[in-house]
């Protein structure tokens, strides 16, 4: 009788120990959301990693490796403290048709830059500079050369203010 009682107590105690271990392991895997912010909608490509259903990182819903050419748009950011104490920033992303969406670590994202818009802006700047008078054109080109040399911002602002004071041609001021 004592043997049966010892076996039953041993089985029950090992059962309770296993339940305690599994519940503590599952609760420690969750992350705590420290803060969230709204981002301006920006296009990204996912390089690798997992996409999670919530900012608490409890469930993996997609593997980003399966979407190498998909453009995702980030709209929110969350600072998360993981169970090991490390902090990380996760972005909420979704593709164009909203079928793939979730939270991914921002280190797995690469920002997509629209080169056509940048070229158009540079071409507009060049055409505006070309249409200026010769004196104003040389002033602006020397200022642009200073920007390339990485002068301090305060120096550049003073130069821009002095340049705007020296432009005398009224048609150049409109441009």
* pLDDT tens digit sequence for 155-169: 666 766 676 666 665
- pLDDT at residue 117, as a whole number: 77
- pLDDT tens, residue by residue, 34-74: 999 999 999 999 999 999 999 888 899 999 999 999 999 99
| pTM attached to this predicted model | 0.56
Q: What is the CA radius of gyration of the chain?
A: 29
What's 56's DSSP letter?
Answer: T
Determine the topology of domain 32-111 in CATH.
SH3 type barrels. (2.30.30)
Residues 6+ away with beta carbon under 8 Å from 75: 38, 39, 41, 92, 93, 94
Of the pLDDT bands very low, low, confident and very high (cuts 50, 70, 90), residue 13 is low
- 33 - beta bridge partners? 80
Regarding predicted confidence, which is higher, 81 or 136? 81
Instruction: For the chain, give every residue range classified as CATH 2.30.30.
Output: 32-111
- pLDDT at residue 60, as a whole number: 94
Average pLDDT over residues 93-104: 94
- pLDDT at residue 24, as a whole number: 46
Contact in structure between 31 and 81 (CB atoms under 8 Å): yes
Q: Is the pLDDT of residue 174 over 80?
A: no
- pLDDT at residue 26, as a whole number: 43
Rounded CA gap, 129 and 122, in Å?
11
- pLDDT tens, residue by residue, 104-142: 999 999 999 878 877 877 777 777 777 777 777 777 777
Q: Edge to edge, what strands does the sheet with 60-63 contain?
A: 60-63, 50-52, 101-105, 87-95, 71-81, 32-46, 109-111
Give the least confident one: 58-67, 90-99, 143-152: 143-152
Rounded CA gap, 157 and 129, in Å?
19
């Amino acid at each position: 009788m004592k043997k049966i009682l010892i076996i039953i107590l041993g089985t029950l105690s090992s059962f309770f120990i296993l339940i305690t271990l599994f519940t503590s392991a599952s609760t420690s895997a969750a992350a705590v959301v420290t803060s969230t912010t709204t981002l301006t909608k920006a296009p990204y490509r996912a390089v690798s990693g997992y996409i999670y259903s919530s900012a608490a990182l409890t469930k993996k819903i997609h593997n980003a490796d399966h979407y190498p050419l998909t453009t995702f748009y980030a709209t929110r950011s969350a600072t998360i403290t993981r169970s090991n104490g490390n902090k990380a920033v996760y972005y909420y992303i979704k593709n164009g048709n909203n079928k793939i969406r979730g939270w991914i670590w921002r280190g797995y994202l690469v920002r997509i830059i629209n080169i056509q818009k940048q070229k158009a802006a540079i071409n507009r700047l060049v055409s505006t500079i070309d249409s200026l008078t010769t004196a104003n054109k040389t002033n602006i080109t020397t200022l642009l050369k200073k920007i390339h040399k990485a002068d301090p911002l305060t120096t550049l602002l003073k130069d821009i203010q002095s340049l705007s004071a020296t432009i005398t041609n009224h048609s150049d001021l409109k441009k």
